[in-house]
Amino acid sequence: MTPMTAEPLLSLQDLTVRFRLPAGETVAVDGVSLDLAPGEVLGIVGESGSGKSQILYALMGLLASNGRAGGRALFQGQDLLSLTEAQLDRVRGQAVSMIFQDPMTSLNPYMRVVDQLAEGLVVHKGMSWASARAEGVRMLDRVRIPDAARRARLYPHEFSGGMRQRVMIAMALLARPRLLLADEPTTALDVTIQAQVLDLMAELGRETGAAIVLVTHDLGVVARLCDRVAVLYGGRVMEEGAAEALFDAPAHPYTRGLLAAMPRLETTLTPRLGTIPGTPRSGGAMLAGCPFAPRCEARFDRCTHERPALHPLRSQGPGRRAACHLSEPAT
């Protein structure tokens, strides 16, 4: 539908998220710049507390009340961060939708599923409740909820976790958004149905032409679905690139650590998985050096004093970038 142009659908420019806490201010997202082309699937990977989910909340204007977003987030040329709540409501649930982490609590327990689906269409498109409900049932059918017409009239507690997440997907895609934000959509689900739900989401995303930002800590998920990956640590992008290229030749010690910690078929003979020593850094005051330095095995003097900039890795093709003094081109 949208012609492929050089213009990105979403462009994060120096996005920061800070939280005011009793103990002082903490920085959850620290100057993240990323572009997303229409229809592209971008994975944002990081350990818990790396600030990855906060990026999505900032875009949706859903940060906790003590949180503030800075920088710019241009969506189709419009800065989402500068919109008022009322202006945001013309974007949220229409051009941009979001799927949340915990399907068990993310649906309204007091409202029939079909009404939760139809609500957005009624409010945004001025449809009648009857036709909006019919549309909702059609969408439930598309996310492969068996016997959708009957189940639509049930309440969320009558659905299993996997089914609820399908409902969430249906709800998010109902308005045919240009951008779908998914915050660890399968972490709360049984391992056996995680793949089903993810594949369904990607498939429907492709069909509707929506670009997807998928936040996860699961590299397997990224490898399976994403065109491009950004690795986040301590609120900063450590490394970025096309999924395949990044997995083949990780440039940042942190990415290498993550990959070593991932179980793979071909490494079943190795008795133990790799671990990254230390505890993940989550938020905190601005650091002078690299946030990963305290845990990095390749650390040297400069790492603790000087913040490595995100720089292109020319040898690895277009769009490959890393923030590590070791891979910086000599100047």
Partner 1 sequence: MLRFIGKRLWHGGLTLAALVTLTFFVMRLAPGGPFSRNRKISPEVQANIEAAFHLDEPLWQQFGRFVWGVLRLDLGPSTRHRDYSVNDLIASGLPYSLTIGFWAIVIAALVGVAFGLAGALRRNSATDYLAGTIGVVGIAVPIFVIGPLAQAFFSLRLEWLPVGGITEGWRSLVLPILVLALPNIAYISRITRTSMIETLRENHVRTARAKGVGWRRVLTSHVLTGALLPVIAYLGPATAAVITGSILIETVFAVPGIGRHFVDAALNRDYPLVMGITLLYGSLLILFNIATDVVRAILDPRIRHER
Applying CB under 8 A, among 82, 105, 279, 315 the residue interacting with partner 1 is 105
Tell me if 160 contacts partner 1 by CB under 8 A.
no
> Dihedral of the CA atoms 3, 6, 170, 218 (nearest 10)?
150
Quick one: 117 or 290, whose CB is closer to partner 1?
117
| Whole-number Å distance between alpha carbons of 163 and 149 | 14
Quick one: 12 or 167, whose CB is closer to partner 1?
167
CA 66 to the chain's CA centroid: 21
Quick one: 94 or 255, whose CB is closer to partner 1?
94
Quick one: 94 or 327, whose CB is closer to partner 1?
94
CA 170 to the chain's CA centroid: 18
Q: Cβ of residue 110: shortest distance to partner 1, in angstroms?
A: 4
Q: Return the range that interacts with partner 1 (CB under 8 A); candidates 24-32, 118-126, 225-233, 241-249.
A: 118-126
Q: Return the range that interacts with partner 1 (CB under 8 A); candidates 19-27, 31-39, 57-65, 271-279.
A: 57-65
Rounded CA Rg of the chain: 21
On whether the CB atoms of residues 242 and 71 are closer than 8 A, the answer is no
Q: Cβ of residue 93: shortest distance to partner 1, in angstroms?
A: 4
Q: Cβ of residue 86: shortest distance to partner 1, in angstroms?
A: 8
Q: Which of 116, 125, 320, 117 is nearest to 237 (CA)?
A: 320
Q: Cβ of residue 105: shortest distance to partner 1, in angstroms?
A: 4
Alpha helix stretches (DSSP H) within 38-183: 52-60, 85-88, 113-125, 129-142, 148-151, 161-173
Q: Cβ of residue 141: shortest distance to partner 1, in angstroms?
A: 20
CA-CA distances (angstroms) from residue 161 to 139, 156, 165, 187?
18, 9, 6, 11
Q: Residue 204 CB: number of other CB atoms within 10 A? A: 19
Applying CB under 8 A, among 17, 36, 60, 251 the residue interacting with partner 1 is 60
Instruction: Write down the number of H helices and E strands in the chain.
Output: 11, 12
Tell me if 323 contacts partner 1 by CB under 8 A.
no
How many chain residues touch partner 1 (CB under 8 A)?
Answer: 32
| Whole-number Å distance between alpha carbons of 168 and 106 | 8
How far from each other are the two terminal CA atoms of the chain, in whole angstroms? Answer: 44
Show the tokens assigned to 304: 């603790």
Tell me if 275 contacts partner 1 by CB under 8 A.
no
Quick one: 78 or 267, whose CB is closer to partner 1?
78
Applying CB under 8 A, among 58, 69, 80, 98 the residue interacting with partner 1 is 98
Tell me if 126 contacts partner 1 by CB under 8 A.
no
Q: Mapping DSSP to helix (H, G, I), strand (E, B) and coil, where does residue 295 land?
A: helix
Tell me if 205 contacts partner 1 by CB under 8 A.
no
Applying CB under 8 A, among 12, 42, 81, 107 the residue interacting with partner 1 is 107
Q: Cβ of residue 120: shortest distance to partner 1, in angstroms?
A: 5
Tell me if 135 contacts partner 1 by CB under 8 A.
no
Q: Which of 220, 228, 251 is nearest to 238 (CA)?
A: 251
Beta-bridge partners for 229: 43, 241
Tell me if 89 contacts partner 1 by CB under 8 A.
yes
Binding site for partner 1 (CB under 8 A): 60-62, 85-86, 88-94, 97-98, 100, 102, 105-111, 119-120, 123-124, 155, 157-158, 168, 171
